[in-house]
Amino acid sequence: MKKRLKPSVADIKLHESGKISIYIPISKEDDRINRLILINRYSSEEINLPLFEKEVNDNLRLLYGYLDYNKWESKLLNGEFWDLYLQNGEGNHRLRPANNAIEYVRIKEQESGKTFHPYITKKGNVSFRYSEIDFFAGINNVEISEEGSLKVEGLIENVNLNNVSEAHLLLKDAVNVETRCPLEVKENTKPGFHSFSSEIDLAGTITEELPNYLISSLELETFDGNQTMWRETPRLKYYGTESLDEIYITSINDLDIKFKISTSKVAGYLTVHMLEDNVVKEFANKVEKEVVKARRGKRALKFYKNVFQIVSYLPGKNNLVVFESFHGKQYSDSPRAIYEYMKEHTPAYNLIWSADRRHYEEFVERGLPVVRRFSLKWLLVMTRAKYWVTNTRLPNWLPKPKGTEYVQTWHGTPLKRLAADMEEVHMPGTNTLKYKSNFIKEANKWDHLVAPNAYSSEIFKSAFLFGKNMIESGYPRNDYLIQENNQETINQIKKKLDLPLDKKVVLYAPTWRDNQFYQRGKYKFDLSLDLQQMRDELGDEYVVVLRMHYLIAENFDLGPFEGFAFDYSKYEDIRDLYLISDILITDYSSVFFDYANLRRPIIFFVYDIDEYRDSLRGFYLDLEKEAPGPLAKTTIEVIDSIKEFEQNDFQLGKSFEEFYGRFCDWETGESSKRVVETVFK
């Protein structure tokens, strides 16, 4: 019987011709190989790669295939993720890497600026992808001195060294405290790369909170002749040829602290752990880590689901209502509005919030009745509650107990196509068929769905295939905008946010892009609005407030724009930001439907409208014809629109009035009351 095939990729090389060579050593006895193929992760489209072989010795032969990038460029660009397989008569076999340094192969696509490269997946397999990484670096060597100094050396993608004014090794700990170490960058003989080195004084990184850890990246300040930019690499991995096992350093400056230098098992990220040099505490930390790991595993999920189903047979509590907003991360939106109305007007109900463990203390500090999401207590509360009120989907595995009424408020009037109305899905970790079926399965659990206007009511029916009780009430979250739109409230919020009272506020609130992400549920965003240009033109009279979508993972460095630009992406409820702003800049986010209730100017910054409309989501509205404000594709067009509103005394025009009549006519400040009177009889 032949040995099971477990091949690995020994090396990947890029040739000047644009061909990428893939080398796979394999047993001489194993003659089952037929093809080397790339398979599109979402569409299952295949690219066959020419496969050759040669003998190495009596026991080993070498398979080598070629990916001709120039030939397949257009197809590769359309696919984003391509997984590498060897195929034989028994099926397709994923390939693992023999060394992580394969990720040094990079092809820059000039027109889009994207980089095509091999990478190692979370499961440790070899795949290819496009990413928008500005520039890339990796560590090849680690040295530790007796004095507690950690020296790292590696390679960084070519940059024009004449344009680099500052260079650092950037260290971040568990709470994002940053430490910068001097970085030396030199010319290198490896095509496309320079070498770098840096030295870390470990004693200087010690914090009071232990255990802690440090992760690293490279940071360069560059000037391209027009503007100065801070550029940062992704988190650094270790690509050295020598295995880097766990290394411990103790007795630095006679402190009872030890440092552990290690790499993550699959991805190979270099991490420096700071630990108390205490055997008992170290053991306790390891046990806690293993418990968390087990709790998040597939077996734990299956067990939890079974327990949920069993407990759901317990008698329910007819006065118990559970609220959740944005997966338990916020006290906000329509669930908040309904909660606050019920707290004042329906005292007979027991109202409880479901909170993500990372945000649990924020609810506690507010004095809210709260239970930690997915805890044992949460399980008992969710299974026995008569009502669930949320604005996003709950986990698909979560069964709705018999007798529970599920109130879905959703979180916006739809501009972008939703669920069943989407032609293609470009999100990570799913495909079009899977995404739609999971969405519809979840929507079938909803008993009540809140609609903000007649337009949304019709779309919700088709997009969610919803046929139960549509509550045509307007959005509860917008009651606040109607009831609190006064100068006293606006000034109080500005003082709370440390914003100047004598300047007008521009709120920039864009949405996320389905195809720009780091991982599932964690999306990236490139800030295309030129803040320097905005400040130069408007800084005397305006400030800018940034509010990113809750799925976006970016933390923008606004240091150069202190006093002009403020990032309130993590501020819990956008309703306060609506009230204090004089102008809204958005793109394809549904925020403009809500903001229109304030009857203030809206500008649409849609620099990528052709791609977004035609390739990613598609629109229900013809934004170019029906938008209640001007469309701009450049920052200067945004600035011109603001100045034009000023010159016209902020008059909104006929298109806005038509929009307002169509989308805001249900909003009278009593939507929460309508929902409560409909559901909580």
DSSP labels, 495-519 = HHTT--TTSEEEEE-----TT-EEE
% of the chain with per-residue pLDDT over 90: 46
Residue 196 amino acid letter: F
The C-alpha angle with vertex 185 and arms to 112 and 133, in degrees rounded to 5, equals 20
- Contact residues for 580 (Cβ-Cβ < 8 A; gap 6+): 490, 493, 494, 497, 499, 505, 507, 545
Pick the range with the lowest mean pLDDT from 219-233, 330-344, 404-418.
219-233
Cβ atoms of 201 and 148 within 8 Å: the answer is yes
Predicted confidence (pLDDT) per residue in 364-419, tens digit: 999 999 999 988 889 889 999 999 999 998 988 888 998 999 999 998 898 877 86
Helix crossing, 531-538 with 635-647: angle to 10°? 30
Q: Where are the beta strands (DSSP E) in 89-148?
A: 91-94, 96-97, 107-108, 115-120, 126-131, 137-144
Predicted confidence (pLDDT) per residue in 128-149, tens digit: 998 877 789 999 999 887 677 8
CATH class name, domain 137-277: mainly beta
pLDDT score recorded for residue 282? 59
Q: Say how far apart CA 215 and CA 233 lie, in whole Å.
A: 12
Please say whether the dihedral angle defined by the alpha carbons of residues 443, 448, 454 and 458, taken in this order, is positive or negative.
positive
Whether the domain at 8-131 and the domain at 137-277 fall into the same CATH topology: yes
Predicted confidence (pLDDT) per residue in 554-577, tens digit: 455 666 888 998 988 878 788 999
Predicted confidence (pLDDT) per residue in 471-492, tens digit: 999 999 999 999 999 999 999 9
**pLDDT-based confidence at residue 288 (cuts at 50, 70, 90):** low
Q: Which of 301, 287, 357 is nearest to 329 (CA)?
A: 357
pLDDT score recorded for residue 678? 96
pLDDT score recorded for residue 462? 87
Does residue 551 carry a pLDDT above 70?
Answer: no
Q: Say how far apart CA 534 and CA 635 lie, in whole Å.
A: 7
pLDDT score recorded for residue 387? 97
Per-domain residue ranges of the chain: 8-131, 137-277, 301-478, 480-663
The structure tokens listed for 258 are 């030890």
**In the predicted model, what is the mean pLDDT of residues 96-120?**
86
The residue with greater pLDDT, 633 or 175, is 633
The C-alpha angle with vertex 206 and arms to 205 and 207, in degrees rounded to 5, equals 115
pLDDT score recorded for residue 232? 87
Mean pLDDT of the chain: 84
Cβ atoms of 246 and 264 within 8 Å: the answer is no
Does residue 426 carry a pLDDT above 80?
Answer: no
Is CATH 3.40.50.2000 the classification given to domain 301-478? Answer: no
**pLDDT-based confidence at residue 105 (cuts at 50, 70, 90):** very high
Cβ atoms of 311 and 383 within 8 Å: the answer is yes
| The CA-based dihedral angle spanning residues 11, 16, 20, 26, taken in that order and rounded to the nearest 10 degrees | -40
**In the predicted model, what is the mean pLDDT of residues 340-369?**
94
CATH number of 480-663: 3.40.50.12580
Helix crossing, 298-311 with 376-384: angle to 10°? 40
pLDDT score recorded for residue 259? 81
The residue with greater pLDDT, 418 or 287, is 418
User: Does a cis peptide bond (omega within 30 degrees of 0) precede residue 211?
Assistant: yes
Q: Which CATH architecture has domain 8-131?
A: Sandwich (2.60)
pLDDT score recorded for residue 332? 92
Q: Which one of 96-100, 236-240, 303-307, 489-493 scores highest in mean pLDDT?
A: 489-493
Q: Say how far apart CA 304 and CA 308 lie, in whole Å.
A: 6
**pLDDT-based confidence at residue 430 (cuts at 50, 70, 90):** low
Pick the range with the lowest mean pLDDT from 435-449, 453-467, 611-625.
611-625
Pick the range with the lowest mean pLDDT from 141-150, 226-235, 262-271, 291-300.
291-300
Cβ atoms of 432 and 424 within 8 Å: the answer is yes
**In the predicted model, what is the mean pLDDT of residues 629-658?**
91
The residue with greater pLDDT, 222 or 292, is 222
Does residue 246 carry a pLDDT above 90?
Answer: no
pLDDT score recorded for residue 292? 56
Predicted confidence (pLDDT) per residue in 183-196, tens digit: 999 887 778 899 99
pLDDT score recorded for residue 133? 78
